[in-house]
Amino acid sequence: MLRIHQLSKTYHQPVLDNINLQFDAGKVYGIIGKNGAGKTTLFKCIAGIEDFTGNIESDKENYKTVLGYLETETYFPKKLTGYEYIHLLCHARDIKTERKIIEAKNIFNLPLNEYAGNYSTGMKKKLALVSVLFQNNDIFILDEPFNGVDLESNILIIDIIKHLKANHKTVIISSHILSTLTDTCDEIILLENGRVSTPFLKQDYHLISEKFKDFETGNILKRFFE
What secondary structure does DSSP assign to 29-82, as a single string? EEEE-STTSSHHHHHHHHHTSS--EEEEEESSTTGGGGEEEE-SS----TT-BH
Q: Is 120 exposed, middle or buried (0-12, 13-18, 19+ CB in 10 A)?
A: exposed
DSSP 24: -
DSSP 142: E
pLDDT digits (tens, 9 = 90+) for 32-61: 998 888 999 999 999 999 999 999 999 988
List of residues 6+ apart from 41 with CB closer than 8 A? 9, 15, 16, 50
pLDDT at 96 over 60: yes
Q: Which domain holds residue 212?
A: 2-225
pLDDT digits (tens, 9 = 90+) for 168-210: 999 999 998 899 999 999 999 999 889 998 789 999 998 887 7
pLDDT at 220 over 90: no
In Å, how far are 218, 219, 220 from 224, measured between CA atoms? Answer: 10, 9, 7
Number of residues that make up the chain: 226
Residue 196, beta-bridge partner list:
191
List of residues 6+ apart from 222 with CB closer than 8 A? none
> CA 115, CA 165: separation in Å to the nearest integer?
32
Quote the pLDDT of residue 219. Answer: 67
Quote the pLDDT of residue 213. Answer: 64
Specify the number of domains making up the chain: 1
Helical axes 151-166 vs 121-134, angle rounded to 10°: 20
CATH number at residue 33: 3.40.50.300
User: From the CB of residue 93, how many other CB atoms can be counted at a distance below 10 Å?
Assistant: 13
* DSSP element (H, E) containing 1: none
Beta strands in the chain (DSSP E): 2-10, 14-23, 27-32, 53-58, 67-70, 139-143, 170-174, 187-192, 195-201
Quote the pLDDT of residue 138. Answer: 97
Quote the pLDDT of residue 58. Answer: 95
Percent of the chain with pLDDT over 90: 80
Among residues 48, 32, 89, which one has the least CA distance to residue 207?
Answer: 32
